[in-house]
């Protein structure tokens, strides 16, 4: 996936996981990332499934947190997809999951001294950026201009906080504009 070929990565990771390697949970996490980077609604749903399985099954704290950060980002994409499909109730639910999952994750990672600082920072910027994306997409359907501006201001603050942690990160910079 990091080579810009998520569809090929999906195919290769699915084969790898079928062989039940000792690092299956890490491969599942990477499969979730690959599904996420295909961006379509059905692929985002597959990403959620993989991230949820990893978060529930792994005993590796860092991997669990990374999977939860993947969930935040995927829920934010569900806000977008459900909104575009005209399903505002599902979009609202995805937004609630984006916010609640990010808050739980950020609180947990802040107090976890077992996970190395650099890994915690990676997880934090991903959660903050994902939450900002969710806020941004959710604001698109806000009819009240002041409420929309307030939501976008919170999104900007999330992006800025993520940028402080991971400066000049292309994903964050794109969201900051």
* DSSP H/E element including 112: none
Q: Say if residues 62 and 75 touch (Cβ distance below 8 Å).
A: no
pLDDT, position 120: 97
Q: Against a cut of 0.85, is the pTM above it?
A: yes
Q: What is the pLDDT of residue 42?
A: 97
pLDDT at 1: 43
**pLDDT by residue for the chain (177 residues), tens digit each?**
456 788 899 999 999 999 999 999 999 999 999 999 999 999 999 999 999 999 999 999 999 999 999 999 999 999 999 999 999 999 999 999 999 999 999 999 999 999 999 999 999 999 999 999 999 999 999 999 999 999 999 999 999 999 999 998 999 999 998
Longest CA–CA span in the chain (Å) reads 53
- For residue 3, what pLDDT is reported? 65
Dihedral sign, CA of 14, 19, 20, 21? negative
Question: Among 108, 153, 101, 110, which residue's Cα sits nearest to residue 131?
Answer: 101
Residue 161, both tokens? 């906080």
> Phi and psi (nearest 5°) for 80?
-60, -55
């Amino acid at each position: 996936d990091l080579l810009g070929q998520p569809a090929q990565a999906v195919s290769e990771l699915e084969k790898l996981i079928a062989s039940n390697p000792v690092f299956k949970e890490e491969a599942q996490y990477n499969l979730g990332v690959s599904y996420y980077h295909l961006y379509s609604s059905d692929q985002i749903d597959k990403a959620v499934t993989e991230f949820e399985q990893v978060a529930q099954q792994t005993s590796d704290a860092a991997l669990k947190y990374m999977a939860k950060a993947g969930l935040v980002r995927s829920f934010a994409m569900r806000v977008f997809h459900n909104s575009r499909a005209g399903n505002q109730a599902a979009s609202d639910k995805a937004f609630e999951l984006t916010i609640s999952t990010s808050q739980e994750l950020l609180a947990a990672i802040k107090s976890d001294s077992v996970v190395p600082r650099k890994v915690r920072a990676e997880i934090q910027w991903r959660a903050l950026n994902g939450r900002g994306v969710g806020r941004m997409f959710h604001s698109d359907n806000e009819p009240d201009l002041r409420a929309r501006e307030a939501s976008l201001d919170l999104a900007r603050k999330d992006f800025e906080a993520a940028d402080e942690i991971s400066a000049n990160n292309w994903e964050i910079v794109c969201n900051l504009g």
